[in-house]
Structure 1
């Protein structure tokens, strides 16, 4: 295959993979679990071949140690798991996502990755709007995924694919069937689209239209979690750009300002917690999350060091996990906090490994974002907007991790793997920008 065609094929494969990771619910809800799992196996097999062909690109120094340790520790947990069979069952999707992330990071050039990510997010957002419009104008009532039987007793509204609320101003759920997830996809999209617009890799009017659409979708989801993530991203972006405007020797005042504002923010949240939650439309129990955290914490304390074994998401038929997070008769399959979730599953060892891995990713991403690109003696190369991408997306994921467990599953884990491998060799980013 000619090099140009092979590059297009890799980008196309990445788009399909990223769509499944970000919006796999759309495929499952429309076609069923069997087809979705079959597609996952096929894509994983392709990426195994791709990784084998690109094995010369793998060097031990470019492997993020703590991320690899966390992944291997999760796999090894089948040896001491409360239910080895169910741990093995949930490990397979985790392994699939890891393989896909490694394949994309190793074989897709940085600019092609951003293009593939932007294309994927546009497809998801466009499909979500068209889907909600179709439900509102042609269906006229809420609908459920194809695998849910609605002929018997009443099915809880939380399982609805679309709630038919677009014409009422939301909250909408899009093709992913979850407003928090759709809102977070839109937050990531806003980062990517803004970078592409600043980088001038998209037509200006076209890029502006997509930013307006993305902001509208964030508003229509009415997700407080995603608004907080967006605020955190905006603050970090402003500080990164502020630092870019200063020489390295002149940055101390900026860092001191960051520290002061950080302390002030923590104090404000501690003192005015109830008022802030009320402003965001949340009760003091954070929509039932505090009860869930208490239940999961109690279970984690029974096996605090190594945990109960990997189970992300929790399997709905296994005691005691199926009754850990129950609200209004609905059984949730995550702790709505990745750190508590990982503690329950992999104990203190897993939490420490994941914490160090994320801190390493965050710190490396920070310096790639605020320092000029340099791989030789030239110190005057211009900054690039796309070098902000790992930092801003990692901040969004980290912010979300305190209210959702997305960081270690599907798109969240894939992005962590992709960015962790990429920032280990900064020239993958900086040379792509030259």
Structure 2
């Protein structure tokens, strides 16, 4: 009697790497590392952090290769994303700091690969669940460490940037390094937990508790930036809620009316910018940003068209970032404005490509959210609202969690609503020739 042959080790490894359970675990690990990148770097250093990041990238590539038959040729990235990445890569040719640009490009590529992996191997509801579980855990850990620092030992934890101000009502930073970053992540958590509640993907008690936790964290950040983002997200959610209930035949007209309303609101906001600036200038925070922006703007004309070269996180030991090292006791690691940061690093060409990438991704996500029956399609659109608005006062959309979340939304929107789908549909209908 012949024994059944055992699967080869390579087949076993492929089966494990391509399994749904492994993909779920790797997705949560990638999102988790991106969210608390600052805390991980502070505790184990850059070397340890990069070792973890590279390990996740290798696992993601291996897992994606084992599932390639299911993913197919549609795994190609959105062209707009490819163009932006290509221009950032080309900047190494004229960069004033080529080795730093090479490192920045590798860093960008690593989080791009992780974002693409998450978008390709997980459904939208699975992505929402993964983000929800990760953000729940991080917010719980953040409030616990804030309680320890602010109430139990009443001592700042300088290693993690925690100022121990919980007893004074904030601001708190949690594991995110700054109150603004914690506030932005808390707003994304509110969107995620709200989506979980509406889709009933977790128990109602867990959803309500998670929403309460995110709201508490947002309150204690005392971040006017995060509160302003929340207000605009609520407005976008209300508009989206109304559009989803408009008959499909009339939706196009209402979309145009929504765009006109947005332009009017933007015009009013510009007219009242002085009052808005005063309202959001908590503790001189905006004055600090204005000073950073002014110094960046002074350097932009030197390489206005092509930029100084991509770097991602600023390295103040290389020129021209040396001028910011003596800027103030608080040394900036970004331009604190994603659009100005891209203009500084990639020039006018880069910012045009970047704005086009953001606009195309948002329009696709918004149309999907207003057309599809499932409420889960509203999650990418509202997360993009958070990322795009936060880009006016932070550069977080360009690195780590912000970039990973954006890539996930961009790839998902492109796979659901792109010219490739239209081409295939036309071909299957016989309106296009086969060759």
Q: Do these two structures clear the TM 0.5 threshold for a shared fold by scoring above it?
A: yes
Match of residue 313 from structure 2: 313
How big is the shift at 1:136? 2.1
In structure 1, stretches of 5+ residues that fail to align are 146-159, 373-382, 429-434
**Is 1:240 matched with 2:230?**
no
For the 8 Å contact 1:313–1:334, the answer to whether it is kept is: yes
CA distance in 2, matches of 1:68, 1:103: 15
User: Structure 1 residue 227 and structure 2 residue 240: aligned?
Assistant: no
**Alignment partner, residue 376 of structure 2:** 386
Deviates further, 73-82 or 271-280: 271-280
Instruction: Give yes or no for the alignment of 1:36 onto 2:49.
Output: yes
How far residue 389 of structure 1 moved from its aligned partner, in angstroms, is 0.9
Q: Partners in 2 of 1:111 and 1:62 — Cα distance? A: 21
Match 1:104 to one of 111, 118, 121:
118
- Please give the alpha-carbon distance, in whole angstroms, between the structure 2 residues aligned to 1:305 and 1:386: 40
Aligned partners of 2:16 and 2:247: how far apart in 1? 41
Deviation for aligned residue 1:58? 4.6
Gap change, CA 1:92 and 1:107, over 3 Å in 2:
same
Cα deviation digits, residues 393-421 of structure 1 (max 9, x gap): 11110001111111111111111211111
Please provide the CA RMSD for this pair: 2.3
Distance 1:189 1:61, change over 3 A: closer
Give the C-alpha shift of residue 87 in structure 1: 0.9
The offset of 1:319, in angstroms, is 1.9
Q: Any conservation in 1 of the 2:96–2:319 contact (CA below 8 Å)?
A: no
Q: Could you tell me which residue of structure 2 aligns to residue 400 of structure 1?
A: 390
> Is residue 228 of structure 2 the alignment partner of residue 214 of structure 1?
no
Q: Distance in 1 between matches of 2:197 and 2:404?
A: 24
| Aligned-partner Cα distance in 2 for 1:4–1:317 | 41
Q: 3-state DSSP class of the match of 2:36?
A: helix
Asked if 2 retains the 8 angstrom alpha-carbon contact of 1:314 and 1:322, the reply is no
Could you say which residue in structure 2 is the equivalent of 1:15?
28
When normalised by structure 2's length, the TM-score is: 0.87
Give the Cα separation in 2 of the matches to 1:129 and 1:284: 26
Query: Do the aligned partners of residues 87 and 243 (structure 1) sit closer, same or farther apart at CA in structure 2, a change above 3 Å counting?
Result: same
Give 1:117's aligned residue.
131
Output aligned runs, 1:289-304, within 5 Å. 289-304=289-304
Change (3 A) 1:421 1:271: closer
Counterparts of 2:268 and 2:326, CA distance in 1: 31
Distance 2:86 2:65 in 1: 19
- Displacement of 1:62 in angstroms is 4.9
In structure 1, the residue corresponding to 2:286 is in which secondary structure? coil
- The answer to whether the Cα contact below 8 Å between 2:124 and 2:377 also exists between their aligned partners in 1 is no
Q: 1:323: Cα distance to partner?
A: 2.0
CA–CA distance in structure 2, aligned partners of residues 322 and 119 of structure 1: 40
Task: Find the counterpart in structure 2 of residue 431 from structure 1.
Answer: none
C-alpha displacement at 1:259, in angstroms?
A: 4.3
Q: CA deviation at 1:325?
A: 7.3
Could you tell me how far apart the structure 2 residues matched to 1:61 and 1:202 are? 29
Structure-2 change in CA distance of 1:16 and 1:359 (3 Å)? same
Which residue of structure 2 aligns with residue 274 of structure 1? 274
Partner of 1:200: 200
Q: How does 1:353-364 map to 2 (within 5 A)?
A: 353-364=353-364
Report the Cα distance in structure 1 between the residues aligned to 2:316 and 2:78, rounded to whole angstroms: 33
Q: Specify the alignment match of 1:165 in structure 2.
A: 165
Alpha-carbon shift at residue 356 of structure 1 (Å): 1.1
Question: CA separation in 2, counterparts of 1:241 and 1:274?
Answer: 31
Deviation string 1:302-348 (CA, Å, 9 cap, x unpaired) is: 11111111111111211221324765322211111111111111112
Q: Is the 8 A contact 2:233 2:382 kept in 1?
A: yes
TM-score, normalising length: structure 1: 0.87
Counterpart secondary structure, 1:141: coil
- 2:107 & 2:411 partners in 1: Cα distance? 20
How many pairs are equivalent? 404
- How many Å separate the matches in 2 of 1:245 and 1:109? 24
Question: Structure 1's 255 and 58: CA in aligned 2 closer, same or farther, altered over 3 A?
Answer: same
CA contact (8 A) 1:274 1:284 kept: no
Deviates most, 363-372 or 130-139: 130-139
Does the C-alpha gap of structure 1 residues 81 and 136 become closer, same or farther in structure 2, counting only changes over 3 Å? same
- Residues 16-43 of structure 1: CA distance to partner in whole angstroms, max 9, x if unpaired? 1111101111212223322212111111
